Amino acid sequence: MTTSKNLMELREQDIRAHYKTAFQLLEGFDHAPRIAKPAAETVSAGRSDIPGRRAFRSTTPGLAARNRLRPAVVSIVERIEDADDDDPLISARQATVLQALRRSLAVCNAVVNQYEEQTRLGELIRLNREGRMDPGQSQEFSEYLTAAALIAMHVFANMTTFLLSNHAGEAGDREVKLDEVKEVLTENPALGLKGALWELEHVLADHARDDEDLVPAIMAYCELLMEEISARVRNAARLEPFTAVSYRVESDDFTIDGFSPARRARSSTLVMTFKKPHEVVGNHIAKYQSLKLAKMLMAYDFQRQLNPFAELGGFIFTFMGDGKPGTGKTTLIQMMAGLLNEYCQNAGYPFRYANLSTESIDSYQGKSAQNAKAFIRSVLDPHVIGFGTVDDIDQIAGKRGDRQSSAGQQEITAVLMESFAGANTVVRGNCTFGMFSNYPENVDDALRQRAGARFLVDGPQTRDDYIDILHLLLGRNHDIPVGEHELYAAQEIRKAVAASYEAHSQPKEPGLVKVWEQVEGRIGELDTIAKMGTYLKAIQEADERFTGRAIKNITDAVKVRAMDFELPDEWMEDPALFLAKDYETKKNMIAELAKPITPEMVIQEINRYADSEFRYAGSSDEAAISQMVRDLGRQAEAKRRYLEENG
């Protein structure tokens, strides 16, 4: 469960106190590289004598101390000024970049100072300076310095990216691709920043050929640096004092939230045809849960960066919608995105929609993972209401062990699995991810089970559904009478949903029906937790993929049922009634609407989830069998022809 953090404001006077030191770093310093190794020597063109590319010492263990090169001068200021064909005047873009870098360095130093004061690092620094440190404290001192170095580098990269994000579009479609960052030094914060600036200067020398490349090159480097730091913090100690609080820089509207990248709270430009709920024919449970989820997202509290539904239970962070082609998955996406867009416009909230498509799969090693991470970060941004979709996920994410899956697909699978239910996954309740597929059996089992809710998108089912969809799609350019039918009455959602839930009181898939009958015949009605647990164990024995994660998904779905109510429409229309209230008030208003959990709810959700798993397994097995039959048929035909021709 997510908990809110203490918010600490970084005072402007404390930040500006570091401006002089920050500019001195940008103006020039000596640094002998320790890890990185440039591809070639280049010479800086421009007003200064600072070399552009320098040789480094070997990274081979044991050779470093014997092979030190002399320190080289690093000047970000000169490097940036050289990116405009020797124009003697500094350009507006260059000034913007330098101001952003100075500001970011000053803020990261201010944060490190706060960290020193909140921990024993400040005391240990004084003891070390005075030569009074106990030898037994050296390990602790080293761990604190490493933590401070990681904090400094991440805050620097994070804020630089944030400040330059408004200027990212000025370069048009220019894009800078970097392989990796190397000069990541964690001995202490000062050395860490020098290593980062040293490598940044080399990135600019290689990729900032002119003024327009400055921002893309710096942002590409900072993104990679943040990824590298985020990977390292998993094994680092002494970081809790930093991650337990959030820091706010009010004048920049910038919040430091641990090692999570900050994003500007900007809405995405939606280019899609929105659908109204009555235009989604059939799909009653999927439509109902989408309507509820859209309103749940609007309960998010931007100040606390937490949603009461995420704390009380019942929030859907990930879901999977599956069904045959043409049953309405795209229409469902258009409906939910349209509702969220309308609600957010009314409330004045930034809304961001993003879709991970097949265009994200790249043959360039690591680029597919970067695209997937960018998609995740965009939707997770705690300053917006986010809706992310992965349409046709069976084509985008590869099945592990499947030889037909490309390396790019495998990269995307790894990113999605880590993001949806990884060790660092934090559910704030400001966003949701929907995965959609016509062939969910082709989705990796572990990734599919990370979908907390299942939406069966089965399209129109009844006679009334088919009349409604025919009338809807014909449009208005006709005078054909409707006949004896009340249009859209069958789409009255509460009535339809009640019937749909009731239908899951018993399972539907043949394999699950067999398990149900055996268990019920042996122990009777499943009206206790012990009997329900016996049923779950029997399902697991029939399908070994039915693991503890499946039980969690079922209990999450039950909690959603306990929140089986829609927030009133008027709460969305008039922000003063609900949206503008403080977190605790919203939480109490929601809690008053909650319903008790009943045995019927639990049984229905077990059957609904297990039915989907058995349906996926059956489809997957049938597809594999059909492929084998085709292969055997081709082999038999090939053998017959061979014998005819060579008999």
Give the residue carrying structure tokens 């449009």: 475
Task: Select the highest-mean-pLDDT range: 87-91, 110-114, 234-238, 376-380.
Answer: 110-114
Question: Is residue 28 a part of any domain in this protein?
Answer: yes
Do 474 and 363 share a structural domain?
Answer: yes
What confidence tier does 619 reach under pLDDT thresholds 50, 70, 90?
low
Give me the chain's average pLDDT, please. 82
What confidence tier does 117 reach under pLDDT thresholds 50, 70, 90?
very high
Do 496 and 582 share a structural domain?
Answer: yes
Do 600 and 483 share a structural domain?
Answer: yes
Do 298 and 402 share a structural domain?
Answer: yes
Do 294 and 179 share a structural domain?
Answer: no
In angstroms, what CA-CA distances link 590 with 251, 307, 339? 34, 11, 20
DSSP string, 71-111: PEEE-HHHHHHTTTTT-SSPPHHHHHHHHHHHHHHHHHHHH
Task: Select the highest-mean-pLDDT range: 132-146, 207-221, 588-602, 612-626.
Answer: 132-146
pLDDT over 90 (residue 105)? yes
Question: Is residue 267 a part of any domain in this protein?
Answer: no
Do 287 and 242 share a structural domain?
Answer: no
Do 332 and 195 share a structural domain?
Answer: no
Compute the Cα dihedral for 300, 301, 307, 308 and give only its sign.
Answer: negative
Residue 506 CB neighbour total at 10 angstroms? 14
pLDDT over 90 (residue 58)? no
In angstroms, what CA-CA distances link 4 with 7, 250, 253, 316, 426? 9, 19, 19, 19, 11
pLDDT over 70 (residue 504)? yes
Non-local CB neighbours of 541 within 8 Å, separated by 6+ positions:
none
pLDDT over 60 (residue 365)? yes
pLDDT over 60 (residue 466)? yes
pLDDT over 90 (residue 479)? no
Question: Is residue 641 a part of any domain in this protein?
Answer: no
CA distance 162 to 504: 48
For residues 323 and 191, the model is more confident at 191
CA distance 476 to 480: 10
Question: Is residue 130 a part of any domain in this protein?
Answer: yes
Non-local CB neighbours of 347 within 8 Å, separated by 6+ positions:
298, 572, 575, 579
CA distance 420 to 322: 18
Strand partners, 321: 436, 455
Do 404 and 317 share a structural domain?
Answer: yes
Tell me, what's the pLDDT at 274? 67
Mean pLDDT confidence for 223-250: 90
Task: Give the domain CATH number at 298.
Answer: 3.40.50.300
Question: Is residue 646 a part of any domain in this protein?
Answer: no
Tell me, what's the pLDDT at 1? 34
The rounded Cα 625 to chain-centroid distance in angstroms is 36
pLDDT over 90 (residue 423)? no
Question: Is residue 644 a part of any domain in this protein?
Answer: no
Tell me, what's the pLDDT at 55? 36
Closest by CA to 319, choosing from 500, 560, 547, 542, is 560
What confidence tier does 268 reach under pLDDT thresholds 50, 70, 90?
low
Q: Which of 257, 287, 322 is the last residue of a domain?
A: 257
Do 296 and 147 share a structural domain?
Answer: no
Do 530 and 454 share a structural domain?
Answer: yes
Do 289 and 171 share a structural domain?
Answer: no
Question: Is residue 285 a part of any domain in this protein?
Answer: yes
* 462 token code pair: 């009844």
- Residue at 7: amino acid letter: L
pLDDT over 50 (residue 327)? yes
Q: Which of 257, 287, 303 is the last residue of a domain?
A: 257
Domain holding 103, by residue range, is 6-257
pLDDT over 70 (residue 618)? no
Do 204 and 243 share a structural domain?
Answer: yes
Burial class for 23, CB neighbours closer than 10 Å (0-12, 13-18, 19+): middle
Angle at 450 between CA 449 and CA 456, to 5 degrees: 65
Interhelix angle 214-233/138-164, rounded to 10 degrees, is 150
pLDDT, tens digit (0-9, with 9 covering 90-100), for 520-543: 999 999 989 999 999 999 999 888
Question: Is residue 480 a part of any domain in this protein?
Answer: yes
When divided into structural domains, the chain yields a total of 2
Non-local CB neighbours of 61 within 8 Å, separated by 6+ positions:
none
pLDDT, tens digit (0-9, with 9 covering 90-100), for 539-563: 998 888 788 878 888 888 888 777 7
What backbone torsions phi and psi does residue 507 show, to the nearest 5 degrees? Answer: -70, 165
What percentage of the chain carries pLDDT values higher than 70? 85
Residue 63 CB neighbour total at 10 angstroms? 11
Compute the Cα dihedral for 402, 408, 409, 413 and give only its sign.
Answer: positive
